[in-house]
Amino acid sequence: MSIRGVIVQGSSRSKGNTYQISSFVQDNSGFDIVDLKSKQIGQFDYEFKNQNDDFIPLIREIVANYDIIIFVTPVYWYAMSGIMKVFFDRITDCLQLEKKIGRDLRGKATAMISCGSDQELKKGFNMPFVESANYLGMNYLGDVHCWIEDTEIPEKVKQDLIDFITTII
Ligand SMILES: Cc1cc2nc3c(=O)[nH]c(=O)nc-3n(C[C@H](O)[C@H](O)[C@H](O)COP(=O)(O)O)c2cc1C
């Protein structure tokens, strides 16, 4: 049976540079793409007042259908995008309210792909992904950094992505 994977894209534009990377990963893995920008997902709320937005149905669908979750985020101000961070903040709903979903995240695999304009990614960028996976009992498979040059994915980045995909699936 083949591994079921999902690419969770957290860019502030649906068809920008991060999408180019998500698309390349999709073409080389067969994984589905979820575009967080197309969803209505509110900021974490201590009173869970946004339980009727798109977050709970989305995370429920992810835990039901996939074994590997690859987070693909642009680098915005040296960190993950705001859209991606809100998604992580909302995982708190699954620890406090929708506890079955939280339990079902355990044992799943996760990985992260960053897309910046710089070739260099500052040390520590991956820490929230690594530590969140640890906290949630998920298996962190690793990460790879990407960038776009003149609207194209450079050959080195393509090779790094193919090597990465080969090691995780
Ligand atoms: C708000 C904002 C902040 C950014 N900060 C960084 C940064 O800290 N480091 C970096 O390498 N690139 C930075 N960039 C460039 C983007 O990471 C880069 O252009 C990326 O490919 C954009 O992907 P997107 O088209 O999916 O938004 C920033 C871009 C924006 C819009």
Max Cα distance, the chain (Å): 48
pLDDT under 50: residue ranges of the chain: none
Predicted pLDDT of residue 164: 97
Protein residue whose Cα sits closest to atom 31 of ligand 1: 76
Predicted pLDDT of residue 126: 98
Which atom of ligand 1 is nearest the CA belonging to 79?
A: 8
CATH 3.30.70.60 fits 5-168, yes or no: no
Q: How far is the CA of 122 from the centre of ligand 1 (A)?
A: 13
Helices (H) and strands (E) in the chain, counts: 7, 5
Interval 44-64: pLDDT, tens: 999 999 999 999 999 999 999
- Alpha-carbon distance 165 to 169, whole Å? 6
Q: How far is the CA of 147 from the centre of ligand 1 (A)?
A: 9
Taking a C-beta distance cutoff of 8 angstroms, is the pair 3, 137 a contact?
no
Identify the helix (H) or strand (E) that includes residue 11.
Answer: none
Q: How far is the CA of 75 from the centre of ligand 1 (A)?
A: 5
Which sequence spans correspond to the domains of the chain? 5-168
